[in-house]
Amino acid sequence: MRFIYLALLAFLPSLAAANTVCRFDTECLETETCTESGFDVQISLPTGTQFITGRLVAETDAGTYPGFVLKAGPNERTMFFDGESLRMMLTLIGVEARLSVHVAEGPTMVSYTGTCEAL
């Protein structure tokens, strides 16, 4: 069972841009063997907010998810996104992105590996 529709989020730690795209190429469902995936997630800041303290928005083919920055350092960012029945945490070190998605139904955990870049 794949949860591509859950994949989202991310900002480069060094970016000040308001729009970023993350491309995730690996998906790991629970304890199963990881498989290839290929999806993009676009992250944007609402008008008038700042990245370090601002609210974020993640957009996928499945919908739009609100989020916020939990940690912002010189080379690291951690963000949290909240859906109706899922929670997502994204950690960025440089351009490398790691996304963990926890779904209430099941429950199920999916991990993603990818990179992010400014648009």
Residue 44: per-residue pLDDT: 73
Which range of residues forms the domain containing residue 51? 4-118
Count of domains observed in the chain: 1
Domain containing 40 — which CATH number?
A: 2.40.128
Quick: pLDDT tens for 65-96: 778 777 777 778 888 888 888 888 888 888 89
Report the C-alpha gap between 111 and 19 in whole angstroms: 23
Measured on CA atoms in the order 117, 109, 81, 74, is the torsion positive or negative? negative
State the average pLDDT over residues 108-115.
93
What's the pLDDT at 39?
Answer: 75
Residues 38-61 have pLDDT tens digits of 877 777 755 554 444 456 667 666
The whole-chain average pLDDT of the chain stands at 73
Contacting residues for 81 by C-beta, under 8 A, at least 6 apart:
8, 9, 56, 58, 65, 66, 67, 87, 88, 89, 90
